[in-house]
C-alpha cells in the first residue's frame, strides 16, 4: 500500500479496488483435485479478503490476525455465515480505535477520507455477541515483541524484524503468541481452524518459517497479505514463503497482486486440514461405515455451489444433445459463466415460491399421466416420491406394478411404448410419484423443474403424497461415485441425466436437518426430510451468485 494509506490490514479505498481489478487473477490451475470453486471477496476495498465462505458453518473456527481499524471482512463473515470471529491486534492505533468503537456502542460513521467503512446499529449488535477481540499478536515465538513505525508510515506499526525501510519514533511493546499457543488458550487444540486471516505487516514471513518445524498446520483456508516491501529482498521472501506453504500442503486458490503498491493477497487451501471438504484417501472407499466421513451436509452444500453442479441449472435448449456414452439417452447442456440460469426465466421470486410450495399442487409432474389420473388415484394409499437412477426407478416401478405396462391405440392395436412413457405409466400404476417430463412437454425438463419437484416432495406437498416420504431406488451418493460419474458422464458442454440423482441426494442432505441420516443409508431405503428453511435460503443465495466455468467437479 502507498505510505499515505498505511494501517494494519487492507488496502487504500477505491484506488486499491481498481488496482485489484487490474492485477487479480484466478488460480484455478493451482487448486487441488476436489478444490471448491467460487472464491468470494468479502469486506471493503480497504480491508477485505477473498475466501470460500460456502465452506463455513456457524460453528466454524475463524481467526483474524490484524484487526487494524477496519473489521468489514470479519463483519461480512458474521453476517453471511453466522460464525464467531476471534480477532487479534495489539498495536497502538488499533487499540485506540477499538476503545472508541466500544465507547460509541459499537457504532461508527463511515469515513470516506480514511477509506473506513461504517458500523451500523445492527452490525454493532452482532459484534457484541459474535466477535471477540484478543490483545495479542501472531508471532513465530511466544513472548514480547517490539513494534515500531516504519519510515513513510503514519499508522501501521510493524515488528522490528520487518525493518527494510528503517523506523522512526518510539517502540511499542506487545505480547505475541504462536498459532499453537493461541489454539491452546482458546481450547481449540482438538479442531482445525476453518479460516485463518493473516495481515501482520511483515511478520508473516517469520511465522511461516516457524511453521516448517511443525508436524502440520491445522488450517483449512488461509487468507494472507504479504508485505514484501517491509522486508529485505521482499520478492524472494514472498516466493520462499509460497514454497514453504506448498510444502506444508497448501494449494493456491486465488491471488491478486498490486504492482504499484508492492503488495499482494493470496487465498490458499490445505486439504489435510479440511476433513469436512476433503476426506482422507482411506475414507473414500468402503461400506456404509465410511459414509459419514465420505460426505457431510456441509460438504454437500459446498459441492452444490461448485462448478459442475451449478452448471446444471441452464435453460433447456431447443435441440437436445445426443449422449455419446449411452445410446438412446441424451445429455443436458451445461450453463457457463454469465449465461442465464433457468431460475432467471421463472420470475424474481422463484426460490421463495419453491420453498413455500406455491406450485406443488397445481402442476402435473407426469408427462404421460394426466392430472385427472393422479387425482383419481387419491383414493388409494399415500403416494411416496421415488428418486434414483432411471434404470433403478424402472425396476422398482415395474416390480411394484406386478405386470407389464402396455399401451393400445384407440383402435385397440398394441403399439410400441416409448421408454419414458412406459416408466411414467408403471410408476403411476405402482402408486409412486416420479418426475417425468419429455421434450414434447409444454414445459420441458430443467434443473429448476427438478428442484421444484424435489422440494415439494421433501415437504410432502405433491398431489396425494400426504406425507413427506421419499423412496430411494438407488443407494445414496458417495464422493467416489460422484467423481466417477462426473468423469464419465460430462464434458465441457453437457452433462448426463445420471448426475441429477447425485444432485438430488446432495440437496436433500444439505436442506434437511437430518441430512446426515440420508448419507448413512448404505443401499436403498426410505427417508423423511426435516426441512430447514434457513439452510434452504442460504443455498438459494449461494446459487444466485454462481458463475460456473468448465474446470471440473469442484
Nearest to 462 by CA among 427, 438, 435: 435
Whether residues 455 and 399 fall in one domain: yes
3-class SS of residue 491: coil
| Angle, CA of 505, 371 and 417, to the nearest 5° | 75
Instruction: Write out the chain's pLDDT in tens, 554 residues.
Output: 333 232 222 323 222 222 233 223 343 334 444 444 468 889 887 788 999 888 888 889 999 999 888 899 999 999 988 899 999 998 888 889 899 888 888 887 766 555 567 788 888 888 989 999 999 999 888 998 887 666 656 556 666 665 555 666 677 788 899 999 999 999 999 889 999 999 988 888 999 999 998 888 999 999 999 987 777 777 888 889 999 998 888 988 888 765 544 458 899 998 888 865 554 443 333 333 343 346 888 888 888 887 778 888 887 654 444 444 333 344 677 787 678 888 988 888 999 999 999 888 776 676 544 444 545 544 457 888 999 888 888 888 888 765 554 444 334 444 444 466 677 777 877 888 888 765 444 567 889 989 999 999 999 998 888 788 899 988 888 877 777 677 666 666 677 777 899 999 999 999 999 999 998 887 777 899 999 999 999 999 888 887 765 333 33
Cα–Cα distance for residue pair 53/41, rounded to 1 Å:
9
- Return the C-alpha cell found at 263: 503488495
Residues 528, 467 share a domain: yes
Which residue among 254, 273, 292 closes a domain? 273
Q: Check residue 294 and give its pLDDT.
A: 65
Same domain, residue pair 400 and 350: yes
How far apart CA 268 and CA 193 sit, in angstroms, is 13
Domain that holds residue 463: 309-544
Establish if 297 belongs to a structural domain: no
- Residues 233 and 368 both lie in one domain: no
Check residue 8 and give its pLDDT: 28
Distance of alpha carbon 231 from alpha carbon 176, whole angstroms: 19
Most distant CA atoms of the chain, gap in Å: 101
The per-residue pLDDT for 274 is 80
Residue 502 near residue 294, CB atoms below 8 Å: no
**∠ CA 182-273-204 to the nearest 5 degrees?**
50
Do 129 and 38 share a structural domain? yes
Retrieve residue 178's grid coordinates.
504462536
Per-residue cell: 177 = 503468541
Task: Check residue 228 and give its pLDDT.
Answer: 78
Is 40 a member of any domain?
A: yes
In a domain, 300, yes or no: no
Supply 237's cell numbers: 521472501
Q: Decide if 282 is inside a domain.
A: no
The predicted pLDDT at position 7 comes to 28
Rounded Cα–Cα distance for residues 41 and 109 (Å): 23
- Looking at the fold, whether 225 and 362 belong to one and the same domain comes out as no
User: Is residue 351 located within the same domain as residue 216?
Assistant: no
What cell numbers appear for 91 in the block? 498495536
Is 299 inside a domain boundary?
no
The confidence score (pLDDT) of residue 211 equals 94
In the block, cell 514454497 appears at: 243
C-alpha cell at 165: 525501510
Cβ atoms 51, 267 nearer than 8 A: yes
Query: Do both 368 and 490 map to the same domain?
Result: yes
E strand map for 293-406: 321-322, 330-333, 385-387
Mark whether 253 and 313 lie in a shared domain.
Answer: no
Instruction: Render the burial of 196-211: b for 16+ CB within 10 Å, e for the rest.
Output: bbbbbbbbbbbbbeeb
83 dihedral zone (left: phi>0; alpha: psi -120 to 50; beta) = beta
Give the separation between CA 315 and CA 340, rounded to whole angstroms.
7
User: Which CATH number does the domain housing residue 120 bear?
Assistant: 3.40.50.150
The pLDDT value recorded for residue 510 is: 93
Q: pTM value?
A: 0.50
Does residue 256 sit in the same domain as residue 325?
no
Provide the number of structural domains found in the chain: 2
* Four-point Cα dihedral 379, 381, 387, 388, nearest 10: -120
Amino acid at each position: 500500500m502507498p505510505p499515505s494509506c498505511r494501517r494494519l490490514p487492507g488496502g487504500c479505498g477505491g484506488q486499491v479496488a481498481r488496482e485489484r481489478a487490474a492485477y487479480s487473477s484466478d488460480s484455478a490451475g493451482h487448486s487441488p483435485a476436489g478444490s471448491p470453486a467460487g472464491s468470494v471477496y468479502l469486506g471493503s476495498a480497504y480491508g477485505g479478503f477473498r475466501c470460500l465462505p460456502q465452506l463455513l458453518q456457524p460453528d466454524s473456527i475463524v481467526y483474524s490476525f490484524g484487526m487494524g481499524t477496519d473489521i468489514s471482512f470479519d463483519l461480512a463473515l458474521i453476517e453471511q455465515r453466522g460464525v464467531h470471529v476471534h480477532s487479534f491486534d495489539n498495536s497502538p492505533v488499533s487499540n485506540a480505535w477499538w476503545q472508541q468503537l466500544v465507547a460509541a456502542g459499537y457504532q461508527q460513521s463511515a469515513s470516506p477520507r480514511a477509506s473506513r467503512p461504517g458500523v451500523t446499529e445492527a452490525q454493532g449488535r452482532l459484534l457484541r455477541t459474535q466477535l471477540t477481540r484478543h490483545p495479542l499478536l501472531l508471532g513465530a515465538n511466544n513472548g514480547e515483541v517490539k513494534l515500531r513505525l516504519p519510515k513513510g508510515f503514519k499508522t501501521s506499526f510493524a515488528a522490528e524484524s520487518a525493518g527494510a525501510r528503517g523506523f522512526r519514533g518510539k517502540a511499542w511493546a506487545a505480547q505475541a503468541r504462536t498459532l499453537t499457543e493461541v489454539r491452546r488458550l482458546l481450547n481449540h487444540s482438538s479442531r482445525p481452524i476453518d479460516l485463518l486471516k493473516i495481515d501482520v505487516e511483515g511478520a508473516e514471513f517469520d511465522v511461516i518459517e516457524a511453521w516448517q518445524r511443525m508436524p502440520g498446520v491445522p488450517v483449512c483456508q488461509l487468507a494472507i497479505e504479504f508485505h514484501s516491501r517491509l522486508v529485505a529482498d521482499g520478492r524472494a521472501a514472498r516466493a520462499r514463503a509460497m514454497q514453504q506453504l506448498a510444502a506444508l500442503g497448501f494449494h493456491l486458490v486465488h491471488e491478486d497482486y498490486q504492482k504499484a503498491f508492492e503488495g499482494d493477497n493470496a487465498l490458499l487451501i490445505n486439504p489435510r486440514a479440511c476433513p469436512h471438504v476433503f476426506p482422507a484417501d482411506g475414507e473414500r472407499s468402503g461400506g456404509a461405515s465410511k459414509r459419514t466421513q465420505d460426505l457431510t451436509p456441509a460438504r454437500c452444500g459446498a459441492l452444490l455451489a461448485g462448478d459442475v453442479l451449478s452448471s446444471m441449472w441452464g435453460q433447456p435448449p431447443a435441440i437436445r444433445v445426443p449422449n455419446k456414452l449411452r445410446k438412446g439417452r441424451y445429455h443436458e447442456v451445461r450453463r457457463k459463466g454469465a449465461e442465464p440460469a433457468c431460475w432467471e426465466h421463472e420470475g424474481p421470486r422463484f426460490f421463495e415460491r419453491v420453498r413455500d410450495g406455491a406450485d406443488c399442487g397445481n402442476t402435473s409432474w407426469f408427462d404421460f399421466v394426466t392430472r385427472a389420473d393422479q387425482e383419481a388415484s387419491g383414493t388409494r394409499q399415500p403416494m411416496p416420491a421415488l428418486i434414483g437412477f432411471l434404470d433403478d426407478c424402472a425396476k422398482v416401478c415395474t416390480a411394484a406394478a406386478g405386470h407389464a405396462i402396455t399401451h393400445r391405440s384407440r383402435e385397440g392395436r398394441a403399439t410400441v411404448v416409448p421408454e419414458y412413457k412406459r416408466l411414467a405409466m408403471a410408476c403411476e400404476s405402482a402408486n409412486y410419484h416420479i418426475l417425468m417430463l419429455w421434450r414434447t412437454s409444454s414445459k420441458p425438463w430443467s434443473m429448476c423443474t427438478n428442484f421444484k419437484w424435489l422440494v415439494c416432495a421433501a415437504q410432502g406437498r405433491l398431489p396425494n403424497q400426504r406425507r413427506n416420504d421419499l423412496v430411494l431406488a438407488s443407494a445414496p451418493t458417495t464422493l467416489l461415485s460422484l467423481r466417477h460419474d462426473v468423469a464419465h458422464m460430462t464434458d465441457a458442454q453437457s452433462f448426463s441425466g445420471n448426475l441429477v440423482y447425485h444432485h438430488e441426494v446432495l440437496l436433500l442432505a444439505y436442506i434437511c436437518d437430518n441430512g446426515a441420516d440420508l448419507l448413512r443409508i448404505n443401499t436403498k431405503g426410505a427417508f423423511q426430510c426435516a426441512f430447514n428453511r434457513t439452510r434452504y435460503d442460504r443455498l438459494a443465495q449461494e446459487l444466485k451468485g454462481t458463475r460456473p466455468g468448465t474446470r471440473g467437479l469442484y
